[in-house]
Amino acid sequence: MALAEAGARGRLLRWPRVLLFGDSITEYSFQENGWGTYLAERLVRKCDVVNRGISGYNTRWAKLILPRLITDSTNTDSIVAVTIFFGANDSALKELNPKQHVPLEEYATNLKSMVQYLKSVGITADRIILITPPPLQESAWEKECLAKGDKLNRINATTGQYAQACVQAARECGTDVLDLWTLMQKNQDFSSYLSDGLHLSTKGNSFLAAQLWSRLENKLSALPSLLPYWRDVDHTNPEASLL
C-alpha cells in the first residue's frame, strides 16, 4: 500500500500535549534526571511533553510571548495540562538586578493575566498548574554571584513573598498550585534540593517531579497508549491494527 493511500485511510495521529512554560528551572528540566524528563518518561506514547522554558525570563516577558506559543488557532483541546513556573527571576532584588526584577504586585497580576489568556483560548482552569519558585539557599547563591563579580542579588524571604503571591493568584484564578517554596522547606536542610542555591539538583528535580505527578496522575494516567502494543498487532494484516 502506498504511503499516501495509507495516510488517507488512517486517522491522523495526534498526541495530546503537556506544556511546560517557565524560566531556566523549566528549560533545564529536560537535562539528565530532570523533572521534565521524568514526566516525559511517565507519559511516553500518551502525551508529548513540550518544554517551553526560557532561561532568565520573568513574568513581564513571559506574558508577552505566551500568545505566540498558544494562539486562537491552536488546537487547545489537545493540551491536557500547562505548568506556569516563574518567580525565581521576578523576585531578584531591584537595586541589584533591575533587569530581571518585577515588583510583587505586577508579578501576581502577570500570573493572573496568563491564566486568563489561557482560559480565553479554551484551556480550562483544571488544566493549569502554577508552580511557585523554590526556596533560595543564600550562601550557595552568593558564591555564584561573587564568582561573576556581583553581590547576592536574591534573598529567600523575598522569594517567599513571591511564592505566597503565586499561591494567592492560583486561588483567585481557580487553578491548582504547587507551592514548591513551602514544601521544600519542610525538609530542614532544603539546600540538598538545589545545585547552586537557585536551580534544582538531582534530588530537587526528583522532588518536583513527584509532587507534580501527584497532581497530574489522576488527569493523565487514564489516557490510552497511542497505537497498539506490538504483540497485539495483526502481523498478517497490519493495516487492520494500525489504520
Q: Could you confirm whether domain 17-219 is CATH 3.40.630.30? A: no
User: Which DSSP helix (H) or strand (E) runs through 81?
Assistant: strand 79-85
Q: Annotate 22-33 with b (16+ C-beta within 10 A) or e (fewer).
A: bbbbbbbbbeee
pLDDT at position 242 is 86
Q: What is the pLDDT of residues 110-164, one digit of tens each?
A: 999 999 999 999 999 999 999 999 999 999 999 999 999 999 999 999 999 999 9
Question: Across residues 218-225, what is the average pLDDT?
Answer: 82
pLDDT at position 2 is 60
Q: What is the pLDDT of residues 11-47, one digit of tens each?
A: 778 889 999 999 999 999 999 999 999 999 999 999 9
Residue among 77, 126, 196, 234 flagged as catalytic: 196
Confidence of residue 9 (pLDDT cuts 50, 70, 90): low
| CA-closest candidate to residue 209, choices 201, 117, 175 | 201
pLDDT at position 193 is 96
Q: Is the pLDDT of residue 3 over 70?
A: no
Question: Across residues 100-118, what is the average pLDDT?
Answer: 98
- The mean pLDDT of the chain is 92
Q: Is the pLDDT of residue 1 over 60?
A: no
Q: Using only C-alpha atoms, what is the Rg of the chain?
A: 20
pLDDT at position 11 is 73
Q: What is the pLDDT of residues 45-90, one digit of tens each?
A: 999 999 999 999 999 999 999 999 998 777 888 899 999 999 999 9
Per the annotation, the verdict on 101 as an active-site residue is no
Residue among 24, 113, 201, 206 flagged as catalytic: 24
pLDDT at position 240 is 87
> How far is 65 from 60, CA to CA, in rounded Å?
10
Per the annotation, the verdict on 199 as an active-site residue is yes
pLDDT at position 220 is 85
Per the annotation, the verdict on 189 as an active-site residue is no
> How far is 169 from 205, CA to CA, in rounded Å?
24
79-85: strand order across its sheet: 48-53, 17-22, 79-85, 128-131, 176-178
* Cβ proximity of 13 and 46 under 8 Å: no
Residue among 29, 90, 176, 199 flagged as catalytic: 199
pLDDT at position 163 is 98
Q: What is the pLDDT of residues 85-95, one digit of tens each?
A: 999 999 999 99
Q: 176 in helix, strand or coil?
A: strand
Question: Across residues 166-181, what is the average pLDDT?
Answer: 98
The domain spans of the chain are: 17-219
